[in-house]
Chain A
Amino acid sequence: MGLTASPDRSVATYDPGSQESWVATRLDFLVNWSRANSLWPMPFGTACCAIEFMATAATRFDLARFGMERMSFSPRQADVLICAGRVPFKLAPVIRRIWQQMPQPKWCISMGACASSGGMFDNYAVVQGIDTIIPVDVYVPGCPPRPEGLMYGIMMLQEKVKRERMADNVIRHEIEPDPTSGLYIPPQAIDELSEPFGNSVHQTRSGL
């Protein structure tokens, strides 16, 4: 019939010259490649950005292409915290605790103007940027950002993940922001960030 006999599957053979069935790579590359393509997001949606985030996860934009379709509603199984929306001061200890509950390695995307800077809500109730509470890897501008914008931010985060080195363990150090740590933002810096409009200490009662 012209067919050759099939090889005996029960016998494992190893022929280094055949160039089959094995791959040589850097461990960093392999680990980062798998991490970057299976980021499980922890959605922290508080406002209209969450609607755009839901649209990103739905069929038309399809976050599953990035391996992110599995929303982790428990911080224990999450890789990336996506803060979509404004965070009032009352939620500040909540998002801090969620971040602390997430296991390493973990990343954070600040989605939209409000999460990144307080946005138009320059008032008594809203945190002026979640980077005053938790470290942020990628800021996505927009009010709210379109799904394409969020996906661009996600791809930037993937690039960032792919450039990490396992030997460089400094990026995994979790330091409580006490005054002796590098993550600590001194009060003067936070007050300076609330310029140029001045903060409440400088503000005078208008006309009253």
Chain B
Amino acid sequence: MKSSFTPVVAGSAAPDAPTPVTPKNIQYNGGEPNPSLAALRDRFGAAILRADVMWGETTVYVERERLHDIVQWLRDDAGQRYDYLSDVTAVEYRDREVPLQVVWHLRSLPFRRFLRLKVEFSREEKLEIASVYDIYHGADWLERECYDMFGIVFQGHPDLRRLLMWESYTEGYPLRKDFPLRGRFSRSEQLRQALSANPEARYSMEELTIAQAFEDLPEAMRRRLTAGEETGE
């Protein structure tokens, strides 16, 4: 991690570009693609499967194995500088023929560019993809949410747990199309499972500040805590 923070001025890498205005009359389909698309095709060739432009935004479908390299290159290359990962999510369509897609939204502040990367999974494949946590640390909770809602396993993520649902949730992945809206269990079973959860057990020890501050506590308090005494409540 960089030790110092240098602010990025939007558009600073493309000073001769025209002043941005609120876009009007954007084509629904087609149009001028993001310049990064051509650079990606030059650099990665066959790993760029296809691309389309819709509402002025470029979507690039990439090969699963090269995704991590592509994101790394997009961030580090001096001509791209995608320094902000705004979202990691997934899409599943009702048609079973349409594959499930995992989506990354990248934004380049210096060049004022927006790029959408997609990786497709057919229904039979294992939903596993490399995590981009080592490139953007902001991907931590985005990937956890995606794992929670869609069951996509991000390999290399340091702490891939459920984020929105509780950790002992066993009904599956709620945003998948084969998930019934009211859940898989009856209401009484859902309530029983929810009430049997310990509200304090949802946090890993790293998230509990008191655990981090344990060494700083007074000696008497540390002794009482290690002896198993309940705190407050």
Contacts and interface: CB of A to CB of B under 8 A. Distances in A.
B187 A193 contact: yes
A200 B188 contact: no
Interface of A: 89-90, 92-94, 96-97, 101, 122-125, 127-128, 132-133, 186-188, 190-191, 193-194, 199-201, 203-205, 207-208
A52 to B, nearest CB: 26
B186 A205 contact: no
Interface string B190-232: 1111111111001000000000000000000000000000000
A208 B182 contact: no
Contacts of A101: 233
Residue of A93, A132, A193, A194 with most chain B CB atoms under a 10 A cut-off: A93
A124 B94 contact: no
Given A123-B181, A124-B171, A90 B165 contact: yes
A205 B191 contact: no
A200 B171 CA distance: 11
Residue of B180, B187, B193, B197 with most chain A CB atoms under a 10 A cut-off: B187
18 contacts: A89-B166, A90-B164, A90-B165, A97-B199, A123-B181, A124-B179, A124-B190, A125-B165, A128-B187, A132-B187, A133-B195, A187-B186, A187-B189, A191-B186, A199-B186, A201-B186, A205-B178, A208-B94
Interface of B: 94, 96, 164-166, 171, 174, 177-199, 202, 233
B183 A124 contact: yes
A124 B198 contact: no
Q: What DSSP secondary structure best describes chain B's contact surface?
A: loop
Residue of A92, A97, A194, A204 with most chain B CB atoms under a 10 A cut-off: A92
B207 to A, nearest CB: 15
Given A90-B165, A187-B188, A194-B187, A203 B180 contact: yes
Contacts of B193: 89
Contacts of A90: 164-166, 194, 197, 202
B202 to A, nearest CB: 8
Nearest to A122: B182
Nearest to A118: B187
A208 B92 CA distance: 13
A96 B195 contact: yes
B199 A93 contact: yes
Contact of B182 (A93, A96, A124): A124
Given A127-B194, A203-B180, 17 more contacts: A89-B190, A89-B194, A93-B199, A94-B199, A96-B195, A101-B233, A123-B183, A124-B182, A128-B187, A132-B187, A191-B186, A191-B188, A193-B187, A199-B186, A200-B180, A200-B184, A208-B94
Nearest to B202: A90
Contacts of B197: 90, 93
Contacts of A133: 191, 195
